[in-house]
Amino acid sequence: MARLIKTDGTEEIVSLPTYYNEIRFLSRLEARWAVFFDILRIQYHYEPEGFKLKSGECFLPDFFLPNTSIRSCGPPGTYVEVKGSNEEYHKKYSIFWDFGLEKPLVVFVGMPPPFDDWHNPGGTQFLPVKDGCWEDHPMIFYVCPKCKATKIEFPEGHYFECNLCGTRGADADRVADAANRALKYQFVFGRGTK
Ligand SMILES: [Zn+2]
């Protein structure tokens, strides 16, 4: 069973169903991601729709972020899948590759990465292209230092430019703070409040 080591040294089981914001998340880890999105004011839908893939397998992505784009690619709208361990990630890898629908998918292992240029593993993007799927990593959440718009971006500084207002640079503290608060968030009697 996957366990998460928190910053205060305590452990928690990540696969524990958890109520947050009137939503029953299948895992504590997913609920922590929802807290992260709320703090950054990223709109999300939890498990909005499942897909039947070409292979015949079914896939129900954890989140859809209707207003979030990857880099400056295409219109906003990105699926996010969260896995508790690298082992779980590799088990489902062929599904991510096969996903190839009209919207991109980003898969993260563990908690939201704090904003740290080169020192976090980040997520992996599976971007649908003309003849299949394009995979790349690491991906992080970027926040504009001026208008606070968010996107999913590579961690190299020369990519840090806001899609909306064109401001260069990134609000690294805001992302790190959100990741840290999500990690420490106390879910009260299984029904956490904001
Ligand atoms: Zn901006």
Query: Which structure tokens are listed for 114?
Result: 């704090």
Q: Is residue 99 part of a domain?
A: yes
> From ligand 1's centre to the CA of 142, what distance in Å?
10
> From ligand 1's centre to the CA of 150, what distance in Å?
8
The number of domains in the chain is 1
Q: Is residue 191 part of a domain?
A: no
The pLDDT tens digits for 67-99 are: 999 998 778 999 999 999 899 999 999 888 877
| E strands present in 32-153 | 45-46, 51-52, 58-59, 63-65, 78-83, 105-109, 123-129, 132-143, 150-153
Q: Is residue 194 part of a domain?
A: no
> From ligand 1's centre to the CA of 162, what distance in Å?
5
CB atoms within 10 A of CB 34: 23
Domain of residue 106 covers 3-186
Which amino acid, 52? K
Ligand 1 (ion): which residues have CB within 5 A? 144, 146-147, 149, 162, 164-165, 167
Which residues of the chain register pLDDT less than 70?
Answer: 1, 100-101, 116-120, 189-194
Q: Is residue 165 part of a domain?
A: yes
> From ligand 1's centre to the CA of 168, what distance in Å?
8
Q: Is residue 193 part of a domain?
A: no
Q: What is the pLDDT of residue 194?
A: 47
Q: Is residue 25 part of a domain?
A: yes
Q: What is the pLDDT of residue 62?
A: 97
Q: Is residue 32 part of a domain?
A: yes
Label residues 98-114 b or e (16+ Cβ within 10 Å = b). bbbeebbbbbbbbbbbb
Give first-to-last CA distance, the chain, whole Å. Answer: 28
**Quick check: pTM over 0.85?**
yes
Q: What is the pLDDT of residue 102?
A: 74
Q: Is residue 69 part of a domain?
A: yes
